[in-house]
Amino acid sequence: MTADPLVRVEALEKAFGPVAVLDRVELAVARGQGLALLGPNGAGKTTLLKILATLIRPTRGRAIVAGHDTVDDAEGVRRAVGLMAHGAYVYEDLTAFENLEFWLGLAGRDVSADRVRSALANVELDAVADERVRAFSAGMRRRLGLARLALLEPRVLLLDEPFAGLDARARKWLNEHLAAFKERGGAILMTTHSFSRDLTAADRVAILAGGTSDPASPGRSERGGVWGATSGPPR
């Protein structure tokens, strides 16, 4: 018997007033799988991630994350997902260690100082754990965000343009981290607007663009199934 996917989106629609941003989107991400959501800027990729993270509600349709409905059981979804939005969202006047303590406190997690420092070591930030984040590069800030996600132990990662602004060393590190996350049975949904971005972590690619979706008859690519998904006009 095939296990249910960790992420399942069914006929999902989102409109802001008269503007349809998502139109009957269908996709699924299984355990141990990475799905790259490809589409131009304004296609609705970030809107879809926000729905899956329960930051906004869909207009119609359904999204299930780790067995929890994003509308009916938002708290269950929040316990299962880790969201890395486009931008690090760090507090520059705090140290790396203090940032993690602050985030964990907001999440209601009681984590020892040793575990926090171990998480920083895992992302190669232990040497700068007590330095203010304002001096960190984009790659270091992204790694700090991943340390936060690791401490929260999500089952699903939602990543908005995760490789944007990273140098070659940081991209290599992030790919290795995402591969390890999949090996542990996690699912990854990440967005990108260009095939030129690093897609090493993606086992499949979904296209978010205008038109109709046909998840029963996917197209083909070198990576396997390319699942059609639809969106409305850019927003």
The one-digit pLDDT tens for each residue of the chain (235 residues) are 457 899 999 999 999 999 999 999 999 999 999 999 988 888 899 999 999 999 999 999 999 999 999 999 999 999 999 998 876 678 999 999 999 999 888 888 888 999 999 999 988 899 999 999 999 988 888 889 888 888 888 999 999 988 877 778 778 888 888 999 999 999 999 998 777 667 888 999 988 875 233 333 333 333 333 344 444 433 3
Residues in a beta bridge with 132: 95
What's the pLDDT score for residue 98? 96
What's the pLDDT score for residue 99? 94
What's the pLDDT score for residue 87? 65
What's the pLDDT score for residue 196? 63
Angstrom distance (rounded) from CA 34 to CA 157: 9
Q: CB–CB of 133/96 below 8 Å? A: yes
pTM for this prediction: 0.82
Angstrom distance (rounded) from CA 226 to CA 203: 10
Buried b (16+ CB within 10 A) or exposed e, 175-186: bebbeebbeeeb
Place of tokens 């729905």: 51
Q: CB–CB of 191/49 below 8 Å? A: yes
DSSP the chain: -PPPPSEEEEEEEEEETTEEEEEEEEEEE-TT-EEEEE--TTSSHHHHHHHHTTSS--SEEEEEETTEETTTTHHHHHHHEEEE-SS----TTSBHHHHHHHHHHHTT----HHHHHHHHHHTT-GGGTTSBGGG--HHHHHHHHHHHHHHH--SEEEEESTTTT--HHHHHHHHHHHHHHHHTT-EEEEEES-TTS--TT-SEEEEEESS---TTS-EEETTEEEEEEEB-S--
What are the structure tokens assigned to 150, written together? 């690791």
CATH superfamily of domain region 7-90+154-230: P-loop containing nucleotide triphosphate hydrolases (3.40.50.300)
Angstrom distance (rounded) from CA 233 to CA 42: 8
